[in-house]
Amino acid sequence: MNAVRVKPPVTGVQPPKLGFTSSSNNGSTVISMKPRCGCRIVKAVRSADVNGQVSHAVTPNGSSSDLEIGNGHAGKPLATVGKSTNIKWHQCSVGKADRQKLLNQKGCVIWITGLSGSGKSTVACALSQLLYQRGKLTYILDGDNVRHGLNRDLSFKSEDRAENIRRVGEVAKLFTDAGVICIACLISPYRTERDACRALLPSGGFIEVFMDVPLEVCEARDPKGLYKLARAGKIKGFTGIDDPYEQPLDPEIILKCNTGDCSSPYDMAEKVVSYLEEKGYLQA
């Protein structure tokens, strides 16, 4: 058996690093990026007053191309949004359409609303599974799950419940901008709050799914024991008992379930998938 000789490392020698070098010539700045091999990848020439506009670039083969550099929002005035002042929206070259093309789907929000115990989370998980099997990317924003982190500082008082929905709506909007099919499943009892979330998205981007399940069915299920506690007076302001639930007036999808007549969660989820197919959300 031949022995394998391992060369000792050479000390005192630093490998070349990927980085940028710059030099000035006649009021222009020349930027070169060099890899470890020492080869030039890109040499970009830009004017000294870069302001977020397209600048001239030289590619490795010497041809010309446009290079997007700068801060992405030059020339736009500072804005005030809510309590945030002196801010600007930073626009990047990779947009929603690019991300949707990458995922081969269209970002949207599927907002599942209904009483506690109506099956919102169960249907959401079934829907996510069906879309996963089709190679589609989803993310579930579950009402209880978001209160473990993002909304852990909120109670169940009316003003906090409103803020809870507002935050979920804003996060859902970000997911759709990423090209993801976002499934939000929350009681969200008031129309005003649901409509406000709908208004955050372009037309057709908010798909309201109403779990039309009678109170007596939900209370008979009572998976968390919350109805029992509410009836005993140990929970105040519980939706359906001593706090109202405002049914959607014109939801995109209604999933009905009555005593002795209730489809399986996967059958309900298939109805949503069919809607997404029909509206073109499962392709870029």
Question: Which position among 188, 203, 263, 264 bears the catalytic label?
Answer: 188
Question: How many other C-beta atoms are found inside a 10 Å radius of the C-beta of residue 86?
Answer: 7
Active-site residue 84, yes or no? no
Q: Is 210 exposed, middle or buried (0-12, 13-18, 19+ CB in 10 A)?
A: buried
| C-alpha R_g of the chain | 27
Which positions are annotated as active-site residues?
188
